Amino acid sequence: MSRPSIRATEAGSPLRIAAAASVLLGAGLLGGCQFPQAERVDGIAWQIDSAHVSPHGDWDRLGVTDLLIQWTAVDGTAFVPGTGLREAPRVPDWPRIAREPWAGHVLVGLAGRFDERAVRAHVAELADQSLKLAAAAPPLSIEGWYFPVEADPTWQDAARLAPVLMRLPRPLWISVYDRSNIGGAALADWLDSWLPRDVGVLFQDGVGVYARQPRVAREYADALASKLGAARVRIIAEAFRPGAGNAFRPAAAAELKPQLAAYRGFRTYVFDGPHYVSTELVESLLK
């Protein structure tokens, strides 16, 4: 399964862009200034692709107990058996993952696609696939479901997603981002105008693509929590930064620590572990 180039996805969400263009650079880029104490991290995200079906990490050293899985099928290829979809040549060792200390509470991603425009054009089909995935869910400590159809205010007919979401299992989450910088209050009002009241929001902070500073991302999260309710809002902290050419690099500890500090009080997932959060970065974050 090939992964798209950044040019094919650059109009989409930061997470799709960064995962598509990720380049894991050497440990020399991962160091940073030392801080008095490490910021606790609640969760780690994992975007499954053909090269990352067996995640290993010591993220629990940062306090991680929660896992967000981006999807369990992408572009019609499933990473779990028994769905009736085309099965990937290699699938994760789900029982092993269930035993990992960083997978104590799991949001299981449903059906997605790498290309955002294709996702938005086929939400009903993805919901059909998602129901099959939920019925064949991996043996994890599942606390909810994530439908990887990422929304932003430029999606003019996003409201048509609402009846599709009503078909999916609960508890249910989607993710949102704001490349237009309309502000947290406006984003919250837009979501409140169409999002079902029992669906939670994972806010992509935008820091990884320099859309905003951590302080401003926190203001967005506060506005979302004020409008939607604090229990419906979590944060995705982007652990990548633009690198050479069209690639992305892992954030340095000095870059990531301000994000984690700013989001204190919100349940936060770092995106993503297998691509960007190496043992070297964990060590730097602990200093």
Q: Is the pLDDT reported for residue 28 higher than 60? A: no
Residue 247 lies in a domain: yes
Residue 132 lies in a domain: yes
Tokens of 114: 């790498």
| Peptide linkage before 272 cis (omega within 30 of 0) | yes
Tokens of 119: 């996702």
Contact 53, 88 (CB under 8 A): yes
Residue 108 lies in a domain: yes
Residue 46 lies in a domain: yes
Q: How many CA atoms lie within 13 A of 74 on its CB side?
A: 22
pTM attached to this predicted model: 0.89
Residue 196 lies in a domain: yes
Burial 60-71 (b: 16+ CB within 10 A, else e): bbbebbbbbbbb
- Find the CATH number of the domain harbouring 129: 3.20.20
Confidence (pLDDT) at 21: 52
Instruction: State mean pLDDT over 156-167.
Output: 98
Domain with 188, as residue range(s), is 6-286
Tell me the pLDDT tens digit for each residue of 210-258: 999 999 999 999 999 999 999 999 999 999 999 998 899 999 999 999 9
Tell me the pLDDT tens digit for each residue of 177-191: 999 999 999 999 999
DSSP string, 208-229: GGTSS-HHHHHHHHHHHHHHH-
pLDDT tier, 60 (very low <50, low <70, confident <90, very high otherwise)? very high
Residue 1 lies in a domain: no
Residue 149 lies in a domain: yes
- Rounded to a whole number of angstroms, the distance between the first and last alpha carbons of the chain is 38
Residue 118 lies in a domain: yes
Q: Is the pLDDT reported for residue 27 higher than 70? A: no
Residues 6+ apart with CB under 8 A from 22: 240, 247, 248, 275, 276
User: What is the number of structural domains in the chain?
Assistant: 1
